[in-house]
Amino acid sequence: MHSTFTMTREPTFKSYCVCRGRNEHELSAESPIIVEPCNQTDILLTTTNKLFSFDRVFDQHATQENVYDEVVQPILDQVLEGFNCTIFAYGQTGSGKTYTMEGNLEERHTRDAGIIPRVITNLFDMLEANHSEYSVKVSLLELYNEELRDLLNPTNHQQGRQIKIFEDKLGSGVIVQGIDERFIQNAQEGLNVLRAGIKYRSIGTTKCNDKSSRSHCVFSLISHIRESVPGKEDVFRIAKLNLVDLAGSENINRSGAEFGRAREAGMINQSLLTLGRVINHLVEHSPHIPYRESKLTRLLKDSLGGKTRTCIIATISIAKMNQEEITSTLDYANRAKNIRNRPEANQPTNRNIHIRDLEMKIEQLKSDLQASYEKNGVYMTQKSFDAIKEENQHLKDAVKDRQDRLDKAKHDLTHTEVKWREVTTKIDSVILDCDRKVDMIRIQEQQARTQQADDLLDYFGKFESDLKSIHKEVEIIGKRYDQLYQHHIQDDQCQMESLELDMDRWNHNVQMSMDQQIQQLTDQNRKQRDELEKEKKRHTETWEKLQQMISEVSQSQKESLEATTATLGASLVNDIDLLENVKTDASTVRNKQASYLKERKNKIAFMENQIREDQDHCKKILSKISLMDNLSKSQQLILQTQAQQKDEGLRKRPLAELEIEPIPRKRPQR
Ligand SMILES: Nc1ncnc2c1ncn2[C@@H]1O[C@H](COP(=O)(O)OP(=O)(O)OP(=O)(O)O)[C@@H](O)[C@H]1O
């Protein structure tokens, strides 16, 4: 055994997680597994994909022995070194707290034996192996509905003897007055005592557990170990191990706490809530830790942020149907991991000190007894009175603390009320303003609508008169078209007839003049030819007569004669050519006249077509105009009806419901 009193640097508040495999109920409900231990220290909640870290995670296949070896054995070693230690089991009902802490109490080394029987057994084994002088005493305390009960002496409670909790001024932690502490000589005796006490634990039935522990249960082991120091007086090393099986952390509805058990569940939750608050305050290093708000936290004060080595074992189901509780348990235990305790080994005490302590205690008890016999008004010793006074002071402090918080809450409430009133007034004025604005907007809208309707009526009136004038214009155009058409055709026909006449006349004239010219030319030609013949004859005669003379006439005369003949011949040819040209010109003019006539005819036919098309177009325009006329009349009617209806309904109907189409501001182009 180690005899040194060491301050450790390991985490002072450890946190473990133990998973329970699915039970019959969860299997029959086919509730899927939602937790996955990733490695030895992390566990994944698959539904939220959140990872929780612990000092060690035990999956559903882990054994009680595994848990003991890894969690409890190191703690037991430290108990033997003089450290006070505490192990909590925390979890929803039915998750395996009692199984983990107690398990099977019947047999020493069964597979299902939990932490307590293994601790008892191993403690004695270790003490024996150490060959030291020792003593071990145990106590078993139940906290039910905020009442402490001694399970090793249940009659105490029945006889109305109260168990009190004191804080020891000398620094040895919390003192629980009025409980039985049984010395046990060996493991078997310890197990017997435990089994006997456990029988009295408050058990009920819940939906989650047939044998549900309805209370918090604290099993404490106190060991005194004698240590020999060479040349000095022997000393005793005293240490305490608390093994706490908390009640289920379930919510009332889900646990199905029935038949008056709702109060019980409420109480359980109350003390667990306080435990949670204490943990939060410790984690946040708050100046005030609300230990005094529940007996559970008062009892375990030293294990929470005190000098004790503490660990929490979170027991969880792995089935999805318990998701809510699994999450809250993991959160709770995870948070507790951040508590910082200041473990200190207890100072060894020697026989004399111990005897003196015991003598003081005997004295105190004697004094209490005496005071109680004498019934002199104060049935207790001064020391007990002082303790009660101190308790009262604590209570007063707590009351003051609560009063302060209440005052602050009241102050906050008043402040909030003032603000609320301010906000309400503001809201009222805003509503009033809004109402006024809405009314104004309605009136404006109504006016605008009426104006719009009037504008519309004006517009349609003008539109109608415009249509009428268009109508008239179109009629005039139509008539003009008709007249034009008649006129044009007649003109063209006259023109054509006169042209034809002209042509005929011209043709005739041309023919006549041509014939005359031809006749003249032919006559002229004949005359000239006759003259020429005569001339020729004369010449021949003359020639013949003057043959002789001719031979004598110079060559030049002969040439001149021949030239004259040639000139006369050429002139004749020219005349013929001229006549031919005149003929060609006449036929060209004739052709031109014919093509002009043809062109005119085509033009007239084209114009006739156009006029016909124009007439059709006019007819269409006329029918459209009459259609528009009808439409405008019917729209005018609708508008008038609407205007009347609007006038009546505008006050009642919201703006958006008025189905008036947008007004085209642009006039249609004529
Ligand atoms: N790891 C486990 N292996 C096998 N069985 C288990 C395990 N944990 C719990 N059980 C069984 O589940 C049932 C409920 O367990 P237990 O009574 O320990 O729950 P609990 O958390 O203490 O519930 P309560 O808060 O209601 O007391 C018991 O029958 C127990 O034997």
Residue 256, Ramachandran bin (φ over 0: left; ψ between -120 and 50: alpha; else beta): left
Please name the residue that has the structure tokens 């074992």.
313
In this predicted structure, which of 19-28, 108-117, 201-210, 402-411 has the lowest mean pLDDT? 201-210
Atom index in ligand 1 nearest the CA of residue 101 equals: 18
pLDDT over threshold 50, residue 275: yes
SS3 content of the chain, % helix, strand, coil (to 5): 60, 15, 25
Q: Which strand (E) or helix (H) includes residue 312?
A: strand 309-317
In this structure, the strands spanning 85-91 and 134-144 are unpaired
Distance 98 CA to ligand 1 centre (A): 6
Entry pTM: 0.56
- Give the per-residue pLDDT at 18: 96
Query: pLDDT value at position 397?
Result: 77
Closest CA to 507 of 586, 592, 616, 614: 586
On whether the CB atoms of residues 236 and 351 are closer than 8 A, the answer is yes
Q: Is 98 annotated as a binding residue?
A: yes
pLDDT in tens, 367-422: 767 766 666 555 566 667 777 777 777 777 777 777 787 888 888 888 888 888 88
Atom of ligand 1 nearest to the CA of 250: 25
Confidence category of residue 46, pLDDT binned at 50, 70, 90: very high
* Minimum CA distance residue for ligand 1 atom 10: 96
Tokens (6 digits) for 204: 């009920």
- What is the rounded distance in angstroms from the CA atom of residue 497 to the CA atom of residue 588? 21
CA of 588 to the centre of ligand 1 (A): 133
- Tens digit of each residue's pLDDT (9 = 90 or more) over 49-82: 999 999 999 999 999 999 999 999 999 999 998 9
| DSSP letter, residue 70 | I
Pocket around ligand 1: residues whose beta carbon is below 6 Å from it?
20, 23, 91, 93-99, 209, 211-213, 247-248, 315
Distance 192 CA to ligand 1 centre (A): 22
What pLDDT sits at residue 41?
Answer: 92
Look up residue 449 and give its two tokens: 């609508």
Q: Is the pLDDT of residue 212 over 70?
A: no
Give the position of tokens 């604005």.
437
Q: How far is the CA of 312 from the centre of ligand 1 (A)?
A: 17
pLDDT at 1: 36
| Atom 30 of ligand 1, nearest CA residue | 99
Distance from residue 257's CA to the centre of ligand 1 (Å): 17
This complex has an ipTM of 0.96
Q: Is the CB of residue 332 less than 8 Å from the CB of residue 205?
A: no
Q: Identify the weakest region by mean pLDDT among 100-104, 403-407, 532-536, 562-566.
A: 562-566
| Ligand 1 mutation target, pool 16, 64, 98, most atoms within 8 A of CB | 98
Is residue 21 a known part of a binding site?
A: no
Cα–Cα distance between 219 and 194 in angstroms, integer?
8
- Å from CA of 496 to ligand 1 middle: 128
Please give the pLDDT value at position 126.
93
Torsion of CA 388, 393, 396, 401, to 10 degrees: -130
Q: How many DSSP H helices and E strands does the chain contain?
A: 15, 17
Tell which one of 18, 20, 326 to mutate to probe ligand 1, the residue whose CB is within 8 A of the most ligand atoms: 20
- Neighbouring-strand partners of residue 83: 345
Take atom 26 of ligand 1 and give the residue whose Cα is closest. Answer: 212
At residue 410, the 3 state secondary structure works out as: helix
* DSSP annotation string for 474-504: HHHHHHHHHHHHHHHHHHHHHHHHHHHHHHH
Q: What is the pLDDT of residues 570-613, one digit of tens each?
A: 766 776 777 677 677 767 877 887 887 788 778 778 877 877 88
pLDDT given at position 534: 78
Q: Is 301 annotated as a binding residue?
A: no
Which residue is it, tokens 């024996």?
A: 128
What DSSP string describes 426-460? HHHHHHHHHHHHHHHHHHHHHHHHHHHHHHHHHHH
**pLDDT greater than 80 at residue 566:** no
Q: Is 305 annotated as a binding residue?
A: no
Ligand 1 centroid–CA 23 distance in Å is 9
Write down the pLDDT at residue 638. 81
Under the banding of pLDDT at 50, 70 and 90, the label for residue 634 is confident
* 345 or 161, which is more confident: 345
- pLDDT the model gives residue 108: 62
Which pLDDT belongs to residue 587?
A: 78
Range of weakest confidence among 89-98, 260-269, 455-464: 260-269
pLDDT tens, residue by residue, 419-437: 888 898 889 889 889 889 9
Please name the residues in contact with 9: beta carbons below 8 A apart, sequence gap of 6 or more.
Answer: none
Q: CA angle 265-270-276, nearest 5°? A: 125
Residue identifier of the C-alpha nearest atom 14 of ligand 1: 94
CA distances to 99, 132, 140, 361, 456 from 347, rounded to whole Å, are 34, 18, 25, 19, 106
